[in-house]
Amino acid sequence: MAPSAITSDTSSAGEAAASDNRPRILVPEKVSAEGLALLHKLYTVDTRTGLTAEDLIALIPSYHGLIVRSETKVTAAVLAAGSKLRVVARAGVGVDNIDVSAATGHGIIVVNSPSGNIAAAAEHTIALLLATARNVGRADATLKAAKWERSKLVGIEVGRKTLGIIGLGKVGMKVARMAIGLGMKVVALDPYASADMAKQAGVEALVESLADLLPVVDFLTIHTPLLASTLNLLGEAELQKMKPTARVLNVARGGVYNEEALLKALDEGWIAGAGLDVFTAEPPALDSAAARLAAHPKVVATPHLGASTVEAQENVSMDVCTQVLEILRGGLPTAAVNAPLIMPEEYRRLEPFVRLIERMGGLYTQHFAGGRGGMVGGRRFELVYHGELAEISNTRPLFAALVKGLVSSISDAGGRDVNIVNATLIARERGIAIDEKHVRNDGSPALHASLVTLRSFEPGGGGTGHEQVIEGYVSGKVIFISKLDRFAANFHPEGVLLVLHNYDEPGKIGNVGMVLGKHGINIKFMQVAALNREAREAAAAAAASSGSVVDGPVVDTGDAAKEALMILGVDGDIARDSEVVRELGEAEGILNVSLVRL
């Protein structure tokens, strides 16, 4: 068995926060321990049920993550109080209890589990369908009350009956397949559904309107989110169009049926019954329409059990906890509600490019800006996607990766606070302007199918002058830097790097090796990156006319065209202001030394 979540009482919360510097996650509802077990090694997880709204606002400033189900209301006030909050996870599908707009405004990712409880919701729909058809609820209640009312509880068979489905998504489609297995005929209403997929699933017809659907169905089930367009989707006028023998089902969201209208439809005999799992207020308030529906003799009511199976709770817990784990350590979610959805197959395709672009951003800040923010804030960047990569429309993860890389060495959080929701906000706060450019089929070599170019310009430079360039590419899953400013390179951006700008003369490598050896620094790999052809020609021309070296100190020789970069991957504890960096920088022929940690 997986370990249980950490539980603590209100009085110990402050003490725990003070004694544990790890990121903290609050779980105010019961969430399956199988998922929470994923978080315990890296984070402090506090399961604290029974919190009031005031309790939640008081506690949330200490937490970096919040995992809820359907009962906790994550309001704008809660989100505003969560100064450290980076992710709110809904262990389920609907996020009606979360103020998603407010979360986005604070740069907080909201994730859910859109597929973890599909089977459970579909099965419960079928359970209510059969229960309403055979009066299971009333039969059970009367028998427990020592009554034998067999003659009053005659039901109907569902075979050869018509089931109408509004919303033919994953749950709706699974319900359709199950109903067809029971011998039912299925018709559906969903303007976004694929007619081919519906036909393959056995759905007899996709109708265009409620007017086409309601008069012909014997059972009606709705599987849509609660939106402005679906709130009170079925009212008195719609219910009056149905057969008096029809029954309606709701395992989606309270509010898609107008509860007052549904109550009247049952009392007036417009329909024969209802199977309800969700209500506008849960639990229903005393004497409310929801409470009267739950107690109605023609209704089979359950207390929001659609996702309440052991398997579904484990599935959604594992799903959202995995996403929380990734977000808090700087990764990407697979089901962000307030950002473009990243499907697993899309993430697998983007993942090496996310790593590449993050490393390019880190390399830029540490090499060109020396690890300081002065040459990052206020500059304009251009991120260019070439070839096949240019065909990808959802580049938000790539944009966020660049922002994360640019700020990782100059922020207290090391870039871990950057995500696809707040990347634009963080870039704006730091004065970083980023343009994305897609270059498709430019006739370049095949390498450009996986090439990314990062250019940086002075503010107001209009794209000319003082341009700095980094290019990289992906080969399989391995990432490489192929160009660093004016130099052609081919190295793997990982670990601790020393980048030396020098004259390519005999003895340089040996001198550098001696300095590193003196300080006990081991060289893992080394590469000499020469000027590319255009840069060699420009440097030679500049040296011939003025005796100066581009990007280097003024010299009185014509050796500018012999400039090179020496890129060293090293082992050892090196600080930017360390003696080894100072000695390398003072060595003859060394123009500049950059220490880069990636």
- Of residues 253, 359, 396, 501, which has the active-site annotation? 253
Contact 361, 415 (CB under 8 A): no
CA dist., res. 224 & res. 253, Å (int): 8
- Of residues 64, 304, 386, 448, which has the active-site annotation? 304
How far are the Cα atoms of 127, 198, 273, 302 from residue 249, in angstroms, in the given order?
10, 21, 9, 11
Decide the pairing of beta strands 478-484 and 468-475: antiparallel
CA dist., res. 434 & res. 380, Å (int): 6
Question: Side chain identity at 486, as an amino acid letter?
Answer: R
- Rounded-to-10 torsion of CA 230, 231, 233, 234: 150
Could you give the 3-state DSSP secondary structure of residue 45?
A: strand
Sheet holding 478-484, edge to edge: 433-439, 380-386, 451-457, 468-475, 478-484, 487-491
Question: Side chain identity at 103, as an amino acid letter?
Answer: A
Write out the two tokens for 394. Answer: 């959802």
How far are the Cα atoms of 193, 362, 378, 500 from residue 373, in angstroms, in the given order?
49, 11, 9, 21
Decide the pairing of beta strands 65-68 and 87-90: parallel
CA dist., res. 115 & res. 137, Å (int): 29
Residue in the block written with tokens 């697979």: 334
Residue 143 CB partners (closer than 8 Å, separation 6+): none
304 is catalytic: yes
576 is catalytic: no
Contact 248, 262 (CB under 8 A): yes
Q: Give the phi and the psi of residue 501 in degrees, each rounded to 5.
A: -90, 120
- Of residues 29, 282, 346, 494, which has the active-site annotation? 282
Helix residue ranges, H only, 547-588: 579-586
Could you give the 3-state DSSP secondary structure of residue 591?
A: strand
22 is catalytic: no
Residue 161 CB partners (closer than 8 Å, separation 6+): 184, 185, 218, 219
List the Cα angle 115/121/125 in 5-degree steps. Answer: 150
List the Cα angle 208/220/201 in 5-degree steps. Answer: 65
Residues designated catalytic: 253, 282, 304
